[in-house]
Amino acid sequence: MEIYFPYFYVDQNDLEEFDQISKGKYTTGLGQQQMGFCSDNEDINSLCLTVVSSLMEKHHIDYSQIGKCSNDGSGRKSMAFLVRLLHLCLWLPTEV
């Protein structure tokens, strides 16, 4: 298993104050202490590629050893499709 946390985050106590909502809505109600977010040069695709690439390198797995690549996203179907399509780029032959 591999996980990646974005470098930037917002403290949820500060966000509650900024949003002028009741104290504890994010921290107690949702159980969040911090909310990570990407910089302007990152997106869902770069995050996913970073995680997959890191996982493969750490465990010394060659892409040819993978029989199936599955993406079970909880987001919109179109976004899950694009992420899956991008992951397929990892399995393309590096030699032309």
Segment 44-52 mean pLDDT = 80
64 contacts 36 by C-beta, under 8 angstroms: no
| Cα–Cα–Cα angle for 63, 67, 72, rounded to 5 degrees | 95
Give tens-digit pLDDT for 33-47. 998 888 888 887 788
Give the separation between CA 62 and CA 52, rounded to whole angstroms.
12
* pTM check: above 0.75: no
**What own/partner pairs with CB < 8 Å and gap ≥ 24 does 44-49 have?**
44/79, 44/83, 45/82, 45/83, 45/86, 47/4, 47/6, 48/83, 48/86, 48/87, 49/86, 49/87, 49/90
pLDDT at 82: 66
* Residue 82 CB contacts under 8 Å (≥ 6 apart), including other chains: 45
Average confidence (pLDDT) over 62-80: 66
Q: What is the pLDDT of residues 72-89, one digit of tens each?
A: 655 555 566 666 666 666
pLDDT digits (tens, 9 = 90+) for 13-29: 999 999 999 999 999 98
- For residues 46 and 71, which has the higher predicted lDDT (pLDDT)? 46
